[in-house]
Amino acid sequence: MNQHSTKWQSIGGSLLLASNIFVLVLLLAGDRLAVPSWLQVAGRMHPLVLHFPIVLLLIGAVLPFVPMRNPEAVAWRNQVTAVMLLLGALSAAVTVMMGLFLSREEGYSAEGPLFWHKWGGALLLWTASALYWLRNSLKGWGNRGFSLGMIVLLMVTGHFGAVVTHGENFVLAPVTPAFVRPVVPIDQAELFAHVVQPILEEKCMSCHNPGKAKGGLSMKDSVQMLAGGKTGELFISGDPAASLLMLRLHLPDADKKHMPPAGKPQLTEAEIAILHHWIQNGAKFDGKVKSLPPQDTLYQLAAARLTPTGGAEQLDLPHADEKLVAKLNNNYRVVYPVALYAAPLVANWYNRDKFDIGSVKELLPLKDQLTEMHLQKMPVKDEDLALLAQFRELRVLNLGFTQITGKTLGELAKLPHLQRLSVAGTPVAAQQLLALKKAPKLDKIYTWNTGISSTDMQKIQSTFPGVELVNGFISDGQEQLKLNQPEIVNTAAIFKNDMQLIMKHRVKGVEIRYTTDGSAPDSVNSPVFKDSLRLTESTVIRAIACKKGWNVSDPVQYSFSKSTYRPDSITLISQPEGQYTGNGAKTLNDAEKGTFNYSDGKWLGYVNHPLEAVVRFEKAVPLKQVSFSTFRHQDAYIFPPEQIEVWGGKDKNNLRLLRKTSLPPAKQGDPVAPITYNCDFPEAEVSYVKIVMRPLGKIPVWHPGKGGHGWAFIDELMFN
């Protein structure tokens, strides 16, 4: 070994000793040592440099095992080994220091995998340093034993680093059996534990766990989720659009704040929808899936996600034509899938005064998909059962409190798949139930309030050994439940001249209280909703359901807009930007309002240039108002437009300004909400209208995006 080489190794050895001492000081100092910002930058380079010591130390550990007989070759090997060990140990020291700086940032827990990764890295450094200093003293298997120990430490330390970065079992996941969640029947499934939490564990926990709480947020349990992170609450109960969780999920994939980060498994549309509706329903950590109404979107999403029970029947039915299903829905009959994207359908009927058996016959085109019919309280008669027997895929049939007497119950025995039948509240006799013995799959009959005596019930049960007869449940009055929200029967959010608003509730005797002035309804002072409410102007309805002995429902809000004139065409002069292109010009006049999920494909977004559109009426109309349906979501950089212009006339090349409005500036903390702006002007006969909507040119100083451009969103134009 020459003198020059010896000099550099001496300097390197001194640096290595100093580095070891400095690492020990950092470890012992813990949280008592403040890390300046420039060292935090160095700490974030830890993932960039950690590969260098791994390679160098592996070479230095493997070389002693290479057999060499020539003394010169042995000397060369020993010299190269020394250089690799020195460079590897020095780079390991730098890497450990950077890792210790990085571990001091928010979001990393000092316990768990990080603790073992940190001390494993330090022990690896000390082992590599000892091997370098003692290389000439250790002979044969002593040297090799140290080398093997260093390789083991490399693997163990790297494993815990992978756990911190990527979550538990990252290294061995490809060769370990995939975790199979316990099968949970939908009638026993917990909404959060069995539907929501598995999504978070699979797609979010690798970055938001107690060991690596990125952004100060851990999703380990409900307590930590409710605590939120350093940027605030994770979600706002009942308001998914204002919730940080949904905001980050809906950001463009290229956005650095999009979650999960690029390269990580992304949530599916169904998973995002589950989180959205879970928050909308109150983001509760208790409660069962079965407590939701079957046609509730969250129920259907949960049903589609949950694994069927072991003996559950797997239905392989053809999908119905979606347009046909939509056409067959009306104010008094609702047809919907048993679960989102599923083929089997359910049919419910409402309002016995509007019912006739023809409304059942109209569903015969869906007889290969209908697996449930709920006709309770409808005036179904004995002669109608022959028609019901044509729906051969029926599994559930509810005829409770109908007008059947039981004379033709044998018709239902022809249904090859019927499993559950309700004849509750009907005058069906015990002897008539025997006609159902031939039903091959029947396993449950609901017979409460039929007048059948307990003695007769026992006799019938003995003739139906595989069928359960259910006599019902009598409440002891101690249980007080919360009412569901009122339901709007009307499907259109935009009307021409007027509309009859109809709200319903499924629980008998419920009062619906409402307001139209934007105030919150209460159960005492707010007006009671009767059969219907006539709307003649754009109106926001807020409503609750109330009943003695029940808890008041959560409030629900619906917006209805008046648009007297429908244009014959709308042409976009300027095109929407980014992913917010909706359905082009049709978006402005399709009578479909966008939701609080501004990525739902029903909004047009503008940020760098104004919306400009030309509206044409084939026949001139007397126009005096144009309304803009917009959206506000400050956290998503969506602000009210800065200025609106309405131009009109009979000649598209010679339009005059009808109204120009500069809107008031946004205020910090304005809630997430749809906003409609009405531009009124003296009545004018117009065939053409030009619309100009300018987005906010400069975001206020109190906003994180201060000085930049704000987005302006629009989903509908109304003309009156």
Cα(286)–Cα(43) distance, rounded to whole angstroms? 41
pLDDT of residue 686: 92
Q: What is the pLDDT of residues 577-614, one digit of tens each?
A: 887 888 888 989 888 877 777 777 788 999 989 999 99
pLDDT of residue 30: 66
Q: What is the pLDDT of residues 124-181, one digit of tens each?
A: 777 777 777 777 676 666 677 777 877 777 777 777 766 666 656 555 555 554 445 5
- Cβ proximity of 442 and 418 under 8 Å: yes
- Looking at per-residue pLDDT, the higher value among 534 and 162 belongs to 534
pLDDT of residue 688: 95
User: What DSSP string describes 382-417?
Assistant: GGGHHHHTT-TT-SEEE-TTSS--STTGGGGGG-TT
Cα(689)–Cα(446) distance, rounded to whole angstroms? 62
- Whether 377 has a pLDDT exceeding 90, the answer reads no
623 has which bridge partners? 684
Q: What is the pLDDT of residues 6-57, one digit of tens each?
A: 666 677 777 777 777 777 777 777 666 666 666 666 656 666 677 777 777 7
The one-character DSSP state at 708 is S
Cα(385)–Cα(381) distance, rounded to whole angstroms? 7
pLDDT of residue 463: 80
- Looking at per-residue pLDDT, the higher value among 284 and 687 belongs to 687
- Alpha-helical segments (H) within 251-398: 269-280, 297-305, 322-328, 358-361, 385-388
Cα(580)–Cα(631) distance, rounded to whole angstroms? 13
**How do beta strands 468-470 and 444-446 pair?**
parallel
Which residue has tokens 């307990």?
A: 454
pLDDT band at 674; cut points 50, 70, 90: confident
Closest residue by Cα to residue 360 from 388, 338, 331? 388
Longest Cα separation, the chain: 112
Residue 672 burial by CB count (10 A; 0-12/13-18/19+): exposed, middle or buried? buried
**The amino acid at 496:** K
Mean pLDDT of 494-498: 84
Cα(714)–Cα(693) distance, rounded to whole angstroms? 9
pLDDT band at 252; cut points 50, 70, 90: confident
Torsion from C-alpha of 43, 48, 51, 53, nearest 10 degrees: -40
Closest residue by Cα to residue 299 from 373, 222, 197, 195? 195
- Whether 394 has a pLDDT exceeding 90, the answer reads yes
User: What DSSP string describes 41-97?
Assistant: HHHTTHHHHTHHHHHHHHHHHHGGGS---SHHHHHHHHHHHHHHHHHHHHHHHHHHH
Torsion from C-alpha of 173, 177, 179, 185, nearest 10 degrees: 160
Give the rounded percent of residues in the chain with a pLDDT score beyond 70.
83
List of residues 6+ apart from 367 with CB closer than 8 A: 390, 391, 392, 393
Buried b (16+ CB within 10 A) or exposed e, 461-496: eeebeebebeeeeeeeeeeeeebbbbbbbbeebbbe
pTM (global) more than 0.75: no
Cα(305)–Cα(195) distance, rounded to whole angstroms? 7
- Cβ proximity of 485 and 545 under 8 Å: yes
**How do beta strands 208-209 and 539-546 pair?**
unpaired
SS3 687: strand
